[in-house]
Chains A and B, each alone.
Chain A
Amino acid sequence: MTDLEIAKFFAGIFILLGAFLSLVTAFGLIRLPDVYTRNHAASKSATLGVMFVLLGTFIYFYFVENHFNSRLLLGIAFILLTSPVAGHLIGRAAYNSGVKPTDLTVQDDLATAKKTLAAMDQQK
């Protein structure tokens, strides 16, 4: 097996893995019961899926076309930094606008914390 074939092999593996992860994310969005659990699927699997696809593309262009595309690397870094923040903000916005978690939820410390805060406000 030549170097070129090995590079192509890895590029293919990464792109297929990325596509698979994105597919599983889509399944998760359909199957999971509420906003917060769906957020788990969307903010983790989608991140890694897109990163894998970009990495596979980068490997292909670098080894097959001899073209070092730094924008793909920047894209990977930006996605890694921004998608957990996006997941956090969506979860927070949902919670603050009163979206109830699913009935499976066992424990909710944030609700009790907010209640005590409101009670303290009333006492003042």
Chain B
Amino acid sequence: MAFQILLNFILAFVWMFLKTSYSPASFFVGYLLGLLIIYMFRRFFHTRFYLLRVVAVLNLLYIFLRELLLSNIAVLKVILRPKLNIRPAIFALPTELKEDWEITVLANLITLTPGTLVIDVSPDNKILYVHAMDVSDIDEAIQGIKNTFEKAIMEVSR
């Protein structure tokens, strides 16, 4: 991915040298043309066309912000309710992610999800131990959210 971005920059500079105009505007035009060229030659690269991965990263960021808002509303409701009827639990969550940074991102996402917080990661990086604020309705819903998170992260790293 980094190689494709670098190649795109070089193509943009070649375009600037061809035009002998060194302005940001001509760099931008060259960048767009280079993007088109890389898209046409995408079958010669080992990895995917890099714009897809950029879109996946943006999608992950969107999920991050949305979950932050939702989790705040959930915590707000728990705190401001007159009677505290919460049932906390610590449950194990097996994960398929391998790389360290993927697990870090997943743990951060889980921490910002409504009512869950990562307490520990098992030494072999296969299980996350998650503290849930209210176990009754959450346990299954959480599994669903995890699947979307893991999928979104895999979409980036694939």
Contact = CB atoms under 8 A, between A and B. Distances in A.
A44 B72 contact: yes
Q: Helix, strand, loop or mixed for chain A's interface?
A: helix
Contacts of A109: 90-92, 129
Interface residues of B, number: 33
Tell me the interface secondary structure of chain B in the complex.
mixed
Interface of B: 64, 68-69, 71-72, 75-76, 78-80, 84, 86-92, 107-108, 111-112, 115, 117-120, 122, 127, 129, 131, 133, 135
A85 to B, nearest CB: 7
12 contacts: A24-B75, A28-B75, A37-B86, A37-B88, A39-B131, A45-B76, A45-B79, A91-B119, A92-B119, A95-B119, A101-B131, A105-B90
A2 interface: no
**Interface bracket on A:** 35 or more
Contacts of B64: 80
B72 A48 contact: yes
A84 B68 CA distance: 11
A27 to B, nearest CB: 6
Interface in A95-111: 95-96, 101-102, 104-111
